[in-house]
Chains A and B, each alone.
Chain A
């Protein structure tokens, strides 16, 4: 069954060669800059400018110690990790609860609330940026983990509720009914039965939220000004500007590599899940 269909796109030999050429070409366009980035991070400043695309004469590991330590990428890494993990955890909690009742319980105002959340998907962040800044400031939460986390949660609600509501809506009623008959309260039915079944949706939401928050720049730029609280994207951008003054280009490249490595690792481990999640989203959405 599969073979026939799968061969339909492959033409005769010259077509196939051209095809492979294109595929490999684009793959190269992805891999080559990364590779160049990696080996340039091991060169000295002077080497970088003298022979930009040659391999390093000897690896300058001190670029990495510079980036991690003096340029504080290590600190920013810790900040990003803490903020992202806490945010994602809380987002899932809050969104799952809301999405569940919105998806399965008809009540007056259900539609309005649901569409209010959805409308948030279309609002550009910049619209809320300025008053949000003043609001967070008046709450004395500017420049704090708490403030950033709460904001990230609030702004991830539209997307996450959208995804999770979709999942919860497809779950069969019989399961919940059975749980209730067994003596669960409605909320117990949620925690013990429905939520575990929605795990694929939760994982998808978790991954997308993790990526979104890990890489988020604009809100972090406005809400965080203390150097020690910076997240990774902020730290990187800052390093770029500092490098224009301090001119440690090797260090900048090393910083970039440090930022990319964990993402690369996570991706290698989770890419199956990721594609499964997008697939599921595509089919259900």
Chain B
């Protein structure tokens, strides 16, 4: 390294590493340690119980229920968003009138705060004056009584807000990908007699595979980590039918004064995210296509 460069390297890395090490690495490592203790989070009394929290977790039905819900929210919205985003992207790359308008509109929910989105959907689903019931009432001509947020339907009702607020981002992502594919491929395919669907399947999708993989990974991780929507929709106290891992973590750590246990849940969540990412990337692996 050249003279002066070493100093620059150190100086330039210092603030980032300092902040990261102190405020990120240290707490994460602490969590790992505290998850081995029984602690209420109020007092100084802490009892070392080794893997006790983890064994308790394995036997905890609420955790598994939460995980189930996470898997549901990981799978269903992901599929819907992928399909819808690919579809809209394919359509909007064309010289469709108003393509730009649609792009702008669809992306808007993405920039709203999750809290604001949850509130909005809270009102859409509201039994007294909600928009959805109102629309249905107008269409069917009679008053519709709500079932949206009741225990049997709440999980399903959560899919719509998730799709609604994620679609725009992936739409833009896929549009970017699609527009960078050279037209020569499509021209050649058309000469060979391929129709739109065939072109899509054999050209567009394979060349966009990396981007699609990235999208899948983000959506999967998002499905596992989801918190704001559930927490606010349940007004801070999700019940069994709407519990997910991250809200259960919060409940145990902060409401039930089971701090050590809550942290164990957080550790498991991290492992799950890691595993899910690895699995998703492995499943989506294909030949890298160059063009």
Contact = CB atoms under 8 A, between A and B. Distances in A.
Interface string A1-16: 1111111111100000
Given A37-B120, A215-B112, A267-B111, A94 B31 contact: no
A113 interface: yes
Interface in A8-45: 8-11, 19, 23, 26-27, 29-34, 36-37, 40
Given A95-B16, A275-B172, A186 B5 contact: yes
Interface in A88-118: 94-95, 97-98, 100-102, 105, 107, 113, 116-117
Interface string B6-19: 10110111011101
Interface in A125-167: 125-132, 135-136, 150-151, 153-155, 157, 161
B27 A131 contact: yes
Nearest to A9: B94
B134 A23 contact: no
A132 B116 contact: no
A153 B19 contact: yes
Contacts of A190: 8, 12
Which of A2, A10, A186 has the largest count of B CB atoms less than 10 A from its CB? A186
A117 B124 CA distance: 40
Given A123-B270, A126-B249, A127-B267, A161 B115 contact: no
A78 interface: no
A178 interface: no
A193 interface: no
B177 interface: yes
Contact of A113 (B1, B5, B17): B17
Given A153-B19, A157-B20, A267 B108 contact: yes
Classify the interface of chain B: helix, strand, loop or mixed. Answer: helix
Interface stretch (B45-53, B57-65, B258-266, B282-290): B258-266
Contacts of B224: 124
Interface residues of A, number: 94
A9 B90 contact: yes
A32 to B, nearest CB: 8
B40 to A, nearest CB: 12
B114 to A, nearest CB: 6
- Chain B residues touching A, range: 35 or more
B286 to A, nearest CB: 17
A122 B134 CA distance: 41
A9 B5 contact: no
Interface of B: 1-2, 4-6, 8-9, 11-13, 15-17, 19-20, 22-28, 30-31, 34, 41, 84, 88, 90-96, 98, 101-109, 111-116, 119-124, 128-131, 134-135, 138, 164, 167, 169, 172-173, 175-177, 179-180, 183, 186-187, 190, 196, 199-200, 211, 214, 221, 224-225, 227-228, 232, 235-236, 246, 249-250, 253, 259, 262-263, 266-267, 269-270, 273-274, 277
Interface of A: 1-11, 19, 23, 26-27, 29-34, 36-37, 40, 48-49, 52-53, 94-95, 97-98, 100-102, 105, 107, 113, 116-117, 120, 122-132, 135-136, 150-151, 153-155, 157, 161, 185-187, 190, 211, 214-215, 217-218, 232-233, 236-237, 240-241, 244, 252-253, 256, 259-260, 263-264, 266-267, 271, 274-275, 278-279, 282-283, 285
Given A9-B200, A127-B266, 5 more contacts: A8-B94, A122-B270, A131-B26, A218-B227, A218-B228
7 contacts: A9-B196, A97-B13, A105-B9, A130-B263, A135-B30, A271-B107, A274-B107
